Amino acid sequence: MDLVVRRNRLPNEGLRKEAMKSSKDKPKKKIKNVVNDAVRGKFGKIYIPDQKVGETKFSDRSKGLKRGRREGKLKNMEEGSASKKQKESE
């Protein structure tokens, strides 16, 4: 298969410009959620999805849980836990 360029002449410059002309009267496309105000200037709304806090998974090695265990352990030692009492000898 041989490809041959058969058109050697470029089109007329005026005709080319007319074909590529775009309308300047075309209205601008509205940008959503943006408002121009004389006092505040340009501002808009930003969409942020809701955070699903209840579905987050925490690792077992969180610092807050460890601190709570230590505090509970110290509290039990001060009060004297029921499971670690020594036997009274008679």
The model's pLDDT over 79-90, given as tens digits with 9 standing for 90+, comes to 765 556 677 776
Q: Which of 6-10, 15-19, 63-67 has the highest mean pLDDT?
A: 15-19
Band of pLDDT at residue 13, cut at 50, 70 and 90? very high
Distance CA 90, CA 88 (A): 6
Band of pLDDT at residue 64, cut at 50, 70 and 90? low
Supply the mean pLDDT for the chain: 78
Q: What is the reported pLDDT for 66?
A: 59
CA distances from 2 to 5, 9 (A): 10, 21
- Judge contact between 73 and 81, C-beta under 8 A: no
